[in-house]
């Protein structure tokens, strides 16, 4: 690694540089999408002669931590910078379990750092039209947030109250009382629906149907996993599978604690 590199805490002042890196890497993220992740995370930037050439963030959710937004400038690859900045970011938190979503390109590094594969994440996107109106679903209010946080925690042991509070400010949450919720917000080229948490497939489809029915003709994205059975339904309604990531974990695995299951991710960076 070149000696001209220095590392610094990732702050709001680095968002424009991070956006440049992600655009060069072909990511769809807007500055606002970076700002959301940065607001609930700690992170590191690597700089060469004052120019940001790499980023990595660690997002603590109680006993679970997500490591994410790992980008190395194309001109700096092959020097061990990805490993170094990722380890520095992970040193900022001490969860019992680390999680991430890997690309094939990043997989060798994560395996070397002790992560193991635990499933697949399927990115679905496109335009939906002609969905029927769904009854029994409503838009949540501020007073519903504690129940929403509890349902989310039930899925995998992570405490994502800070994230869900931030999402509620930036988007809207569809709710079936006592059975599940789905978050809608702006992201990338259009909108993303996630997380989606529900007791069963039928409830998850009702929540997604409620949200998507009001967005006919708009660009939508849903990231789901191979632990659920809704991928085929998403494709049937017009959201084609365009990419697949690899879910990975390291540490003491936090198991589901009850009746709820995650059917869609908030983002691949956030689980």
* Mean pLDDT value of segment 138-163: 96
Statement: residue 159 has pLDDT above 90:
yes
Distance CA 85, CA 88 (A): 5
Statement: residue 172 has pLDDT above 60:
yes
Alpha helices for the chain (secondary structure H): 15-24, 31-39, 81-90, 107-112, 145-156, 161-170, 201-213, 231-236
Task: Grade residue 217 by pLDDT with cuts at 50, 70 and 90.
Answer: confident
Statement: residue 88 has pLDDT above 60:
yes
* Mean pLDDT value of segment 141-162: 95
Statement: residue 141 has pLDDT above 90:
yes
CATH 3.40.630.30 residue window(s) in the chain: 5-95
Distance CA 265, CA 271 (A): 5
CATH 3.40.630.90 residue window(s) in the chain: 123-264
Instruction: Judge: domain 5-95, CATH 1.10.3720.10.
Output: no
CB 35 within 8 A of CB 69: no
* Mean pLDDT value of segment 73-90: 93
Cα-to-chain-centroid distance, residue 165: 15
CB 119 within 8 A of CB 38: no
Statement: residue 2 has pLDDT above 60:
no
Beta bridge partners of 45: 8, 55
Beta bridge partners of 241: 124
Statement: residue 100 has pLDDT above 60:
yes
CB 171 within 8 A of CB 215: no
SS3 40: coil
Name every residue whose Cβ is closer than 8 Å to that of residue 158 and which is 6 or more positions away in sequence. 61, 62, 63, 64, 152, 254, 271
Name every residue whose Cβ is closer than 8 Å to that of residue 232 and which is 6 or more positions away in sequence. none
Cα-to-chain-centroid distance, residue 104: 17
* Mean pLDDT value of segment 235-258: 90
SS3 140: coil
Question: Looking at residue 3, what is its pLDDT?
Answer: 60
pTM: 0.94
The number of residues making up the chain comes to 271
Distance CA 231, CA 77 (A): 34
Statement: residue 8 has pLDDT above 70:
yes
Q: Terminus-to-terminus CA distance in the chain, angstroms?
A: 31
Question: Looking at residue 258, what is its pLDDT?
Answer: 80
Chain-wide mean pLDDT for the chain?
94
Beta bridge partners of 13: none
Task: Grade residue 244 by pLDDT with cuts at 50, 70 and 90.
Answer: very high
Question: Looking at residue 257, what is its pLDDT?
Answer: 74
Statement: residue 129 has pLDDT above 90:
no
Task: Grade residue 130 by pLDDT with cuts at 50, 70 and 90.
Answer: confident
Place of tokens 């990722």: 86
State the CATH architecture for 123-264: 3-Layer(aba) Sandwich (3.40)
């Amino acid at each position: 690694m070149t000696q001209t590199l220095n590392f610094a805490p990732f702050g709001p002042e680095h968002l424009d540089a991070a956006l440049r890196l992600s655009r060069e890497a072909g990511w769809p993220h807007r500055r606002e999408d970076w700002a959301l992740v940065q607001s609930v995370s700690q992170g590191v930037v690597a700089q060469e002669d004052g120019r940001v050439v790499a980023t990595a963030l660690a997002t603590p959710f109680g006993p679970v931590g997500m490591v994410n937004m790992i980008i190395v400038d194309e001109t700096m690859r092959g020097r061990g910078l990805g490993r170094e900045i990722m380890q520095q970011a992970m040193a900022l938190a001490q969860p019992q379990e680390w999680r991430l979503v890997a690309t094939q390109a990043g997989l060798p590094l994560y395996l070397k750092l002790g992560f193991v594969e635990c499933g697949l994440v399927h990115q679905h996107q496109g335009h939906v039209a002609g969905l029927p109106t769904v009854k029994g679903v409503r838009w949540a209010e501020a007073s519903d947030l504690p129940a929403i946080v509890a349902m989310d925690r039930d899925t995998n042991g992570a405490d994502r109250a800070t994230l869900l509070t931030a999402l509620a400010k930036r988007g809207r949450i569809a709710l079936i009382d006592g059975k599940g919720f789905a978050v809608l917000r702006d992201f990338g080229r259009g909108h993303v629906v996630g997380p989606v948490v529900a007791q069963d497939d039928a409830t998850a489809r009702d929540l997604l149907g409620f949200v998507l029915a009001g967005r006919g003709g708009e660009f939508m994205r849903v990231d789901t996993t191979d632990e659920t059975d809704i991928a085929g339904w998403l494709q049937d309604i017009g959201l084609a599978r365009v990419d697949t990531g690899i879910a990975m974990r390291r540490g003491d695995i936090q198991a589901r604690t009850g009746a709820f299951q995650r059917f869609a991710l908030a983002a691949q960076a956030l689980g």
